[in-house]
Amino acid sequence: MDCQATAIKNAAMVNYVGTRFLEEVAEDYFADRHFIPPGVRQETKAKLKYGSICAIPNGISPTMYSENQPEDPDAGKPGLAKRFSIDDDVILAKKINLLKFQKQMGLLANENAILFYWPSRLDETQKGIELLENIAMRFVIANPDTQIAIVGNTVGTDRTHAEILGRIACSSGGKIAYKPFNEELSMLGYAAASDVFGASLYEPFGQIDVIGNLFGATATNRDTGGFHDKIVPLRLKKLGAPADTGNGVIFKDYSGDGLWWGLNTALQNHRYFRNDPQEWERQAKRIMKETKNKWGLNSMITGYLSVYEKMLGYRTF
């Protein structure tokens, strides 16, 4: 028995946490893979036909906000080197956190490095870790002003990707670093990052982009599922756009070339910001503010209340 398909069939209402992922399931994306059972696709299509399905995104708890993290300036202790919010000097705080993160990860100390941060598990069936392994060394050699940090656990007991990343890091001369997941280290990575990135094959919602944005970083990932819903290409009024919009970079192809294009596009954004730190300060604060407003718990609660009202046939308040 497919318990998940049975649950979908018998539910009064089903929530997919992302609009794009719902579309991908209903339109038979990834049919050559086995992570979405046929029964789940079938029952999802039936619920969609009868209007008994919705897409309410997850909300991000305030406990994840940068200003609510523990703080300790000691480079050897857990916690951010400096907490910060949109009322603070964001870029200065990120540089202070970058130096602490570099120390803990074994990266070269350089407050001006453009840090790409991977905070996801080492999963080749979903997260695309093999794509990063294929390009990481070439990318930092081609771009000496960059660093790459990975903080994430292996899948189960398979140590293959941890060992591969360990070898890459060891031969990178302090430009690439890998460590297993540790919550304090992971949060410090967000605070230090210029860009928080991944290369997901599929993603129902995903939180790394949102958390990165909350910490004043841009986000880069593949155009799929929740990342399609949340990452908007960065456009700047100073560079000719009608208005300042977006929060990162999204790329199409699930390949090393696709990931390279995404990282290189993000890199050009951050090289521009490095030459105009006041503009980066302004954009980082805009991204942080917009992310809180759009992906906070209140938005999720409002979504669920709306669905409950629809099911009950009257307003609850």
pLDDT at 34: 84
181-229 pLDDT, tens per residue? 999 999 999 999 999 999 999 999 999 999 999 999 999 999 999 999 9
Helix or strand or coil: residue 199? coil
Residue by residue, DSSP assigns 19-62 as HHHHHHHHTTTTTTSSSS-HHHHHHHHHHHHTT-EE--PPPBPG
Say if residue 315 is exposed, middle or buried (CB neighbours under 10 Å; 0-12, 13-18, 19+): exposed
Q: Give the best-scoring range by mean pLDDT among 31-40, 289-298, 307-316.
A: 289-298
The HSE-up count of residue 10 (CA atoms within 13 Å, CB side) is 6
CB 261 within 8 A of CB 131: no
Strand boundaries in 50-186, DSSP class E = 53-54, 114-118, 146-151, 176-179
Taking only Cα atoms into account, the Rg of the chain, rounded to an integer number of angstroms, comes to 20
Check if the beta carbon of residue 109 is closer than 8 Å to that of residue 99: yes
What is the dihedral sign for C-alpha 233, 237, 240, 242? Answer: positive
Give me the mean pLDDT over the 82-89 stretch: 98
What domains sit in the chain, N to C, each tagged with a CATH number?
Answer: 3-58+296-312 (no CATH), 62-295 (3.40.50.2000)
pTM of the predicted structure, to 2 decimals: 0.95
* Among 24, 28, 22, residue whose Cα is nearest residue 57: 22
> Which of the four pLDDT bands, split at 50, 70 and 90, describes residue 315?
low
**1: pLDDT strictly greater than 80:** no
Measured between its terminal Cα atoms, the distance across the chain in Å is: 40
Task: Specify the residue for token string 């339109």.
Answer: 27
Residues 77-97, mean pLDDT to the nearest whole number: 98
For the chain, what percent of residues have pLDDT higher than 90? 95
pLDDT tens-digit readout, 267-302: 999 999 999 999 999 999 999 999 999 999 999 999
For residue 277, the SS3 value is helix
- 148-to-116, 175, 252 alpha-carbon distances in Å: 5, 6, 21
pLDDT digits (tens, 9 = 90+) for 132-146: 999 999 999 999 999
- Give dist(CA 149, CA 143) in Å, integer: 15
Q: Per-residue pLDDT for 152 more than 60?
A: yes
Task: Report the alpha-carbon distance of residue 49 to residue 47 in Å, rounded.
Answer: 5
**pLDDT mean across residues, the chain:** 96
Confidence of residue 156 (pLDDT cuts 50, 70, 90): very high
pLDDT digit string, tens, across residues 158-178: 999 999 999 999 999 999 999
